[in-house]
Amino acid sequence: MSRRPPVKRTFPVYLWIAIAMVAVAAGYYVLQHDGAVEAAAPAPALPPSAASGAAPAFTLPDISGKSVSLADFKGKVVVLDFWATWCPPCRKEIPDFISIQNEYGSKGVQVVGIALDELPKVRAFVQANGMNYPVLMGTDAITALYGGIEGIPTTFIIDRNGKIVERFEGFRPRATFVAAISRLL
């Protein structure tokens, strides 16, 4: 009787492939988890110039190229909204800001939009939506000046003395803004 040589047990190729896939998936999970932790970090604080609550001064062009400064609204309650035409929550807030400007403009409230978008798109959007308040063209410098705008819409409420009293990130209903400005009138 001839004796067979012992069978050498090797790890099947398909198991090596499965192990490699699990390792890749685990690495992907770790990378995604690290990103989620960063995304959950709180919004940066306002820069030192605004630590006392003072709204950082700025001058930006409006959609027709005219320079507009925050100082132009001295003595008014300012609703300063960072937005873009491609942002659905931003677009959803625009009718509320139009309404607030209509209702509270004569009482000393001024809505100001800072568009973080391309000028031709902003012009078309402003015209198509009948926006009745100044829309300025934003820059990286203005977003940095206001503590870093991590997401839009981001809206600041500035009192008559030029101090930031509220910062809202993300969509808010009209009643939220009305409550904030009513306390300042």
Q: For the domain that residue 70 is a member of, what is the CATH number?
A: 3.40.30.10
CB 171 within 8 A of CB 153: yes
- Identify the three-state secondary structure at position 104: helix
In a domain, 22, yes or no: no
Q: What radius of gyration, in Å, describes the C-alpha atoms of the chain?
A: 26
Is residue 87 part of the annotated active site? The answer reads: no
In a domain, 113, yes or no: yes
Nearest CA-CA partner of 158 in 48, 55, 81? 55
CA diameter of the chain: 109
Distance from chain centroid for Cα 8 = 62
Question: Where does the pLDDT of residue 78 fall: very low under 50, low under 70, confident under 90, or very high at 90 and above?
Answer: very high
In a domain, 25, yes or no: no
In a domain, 86, yes or no: yes
Residue with more model confidence, 179 or 3: 179
pTM of the model: 0.72
**Per residue in 157-169, pLDDT tens?**
999 999 999 999 9
Give the domain extent around 122: 48-182
What's the rounded mean pLDDT across residues 7-24? 63
Question: Where does the pLDDT of residue 26 fall: very low under 50, low under 70, confident under 90, or very high at 90 and above?
Answer: low
Q: Give me 173's structure tokens.
A: 């209903």
**Cβ burial, residue 87 (10 Å; 0-12/13-18/19+):** middle
> Among the options 90, 100, 137, 180, which is catalytic?
90
Q: For the ranges 41-50, 88-97, 125-134, which has the lowest average pLDDT?
A: 41-50
For all residues of the chain together, what is the average pLDDT?
83
Q: How many CB atoms lie within 10 A of CB 136?
A: 23
What's the rounded mean pLDDT across residues 74-80? 97
Give the Å distances, CA to CA, from 77 to 4, 150, 166: 93, 24, 12
